[in-house]
Copies of this chain bind each other. A is one copy, B any other.
Amino acid sequence: MGALLQQGEESPFIAVNAQGRSPFVLICEHASNTLPKALGTLGLPEADLTRHIAWDIGAEKVARLLSRLMDAPLLLQRYSRLAYDCNRPPESPDSIPEVSELTAIPGNKKLSAADRLARARDIYRPFHDGVSAVLDKRAAEGQRSLVVSIHSFTPVYKGKPRSVELGILHDRDTTLSSKLIKSFPNIDARLNEPYGPKDGVLHTLNLHGFARGLQHAMIEIRNDLVATERGQDEWAQRLSVPLIQAATK
């Protein structure tokens, strides 16, 4: 079975500020809309590859600013979720979506077992191995880790507008999310909206947070609020203080 990524293509995993001294480790699974060259455009027009279906608009920028403000490691995934959604396990049909929101993805139809395995092996696995290695090293050094993933959501989903501005998502362990939700008095912030554990979106945090006994939370920002540099800067500032406080309380 051939490799999905060709020589010279970027690794799916990069660590920004890997030595950061913050107790937080930031993760951004949907940072990029890049497709592996071997997948072409997955049969989609270019316009679809800049929409929310391909990546979390603004999330990487907010996460990079937060990483700097908090001196936190930031672990970025470098390929579009249309190639493989790294916040889904290989068992999930959503890991390589045949339809995303209302858009059919021609290049994801009727994949062979070998094609599916190549996507998981060459994108999902190296990304999560990279996350594990950073957390293993911190643990060996006795450095505490809290795991926070940064996402953005589309203001209109399947034709319906969403008014929620900030989602704080959790599955079983609510320690961190219950602190954070109280920290945004002037924002329409809600727990487990617009998604929650039943949508399968807590995969990364269950894997690297819950299973290791590390506090964790998923942050979802409505993407029209972080589409500009000004919005990204505003939201990074807004998130940094409650996060730092939640770790010390």
A-side residues, CB < 8 A to B, are 89-92, 113-114, 116-117, 120-121, 124-125, 129, 132-133, 135-137, 139-142, 145, 172, 200, 203, 206-207, 210-214
Contact = CB atoms under 8 A, between A and B. Distances in A.
- Which of A125, A203, A213 has the most B CB atoms < 10 Å from its CB? A213
Contacts of A113: 140-142
A68 B136 CA distance: 35
B172 A211 contact: no
A39 to B, nearest CB: 16
Oligomeric state, in copies: 2
Nearest to A213: B91
A90 B210 contact: no
A117 B89 contact: no
A128 to B, nearest CB: 8
A172 B203 CA distance: 15
6 contacts: A90-B212, A91-B213, A117-B137, A125-B132, A203-B212, A210-B210
Contacts of A203: 211-212
A6 B145 CA distance: 31
Given A200-B213, A210-B211, A211-B211, A117 B136 contact: yes
A213 B91 CA distance: 8
Given A89-B139, A89-B213, 18 more contacts: A89-B211, A89-B212, A90-B135, A90-B136, A91-B135, A91-B139, A92-B213, A116-B140, A117-B136, A117-B141, A120-B139, A120-B140, A124-B136, A125-B132, A125-B133, A200-B213, A203-B212, A206-B206
Contacts of A135: 90-91
A112 B120 CA distance: 35
A91 B137 contact: no
A113 B137 CA distance: 8
Contacts of A124: 136
Nearest to A1: B140
A135 B121 CA distance: 11
Contact of A91 (B121, B133, B172, B212): B212
Contacts of A136: 90, 117, 120-121, 124-125
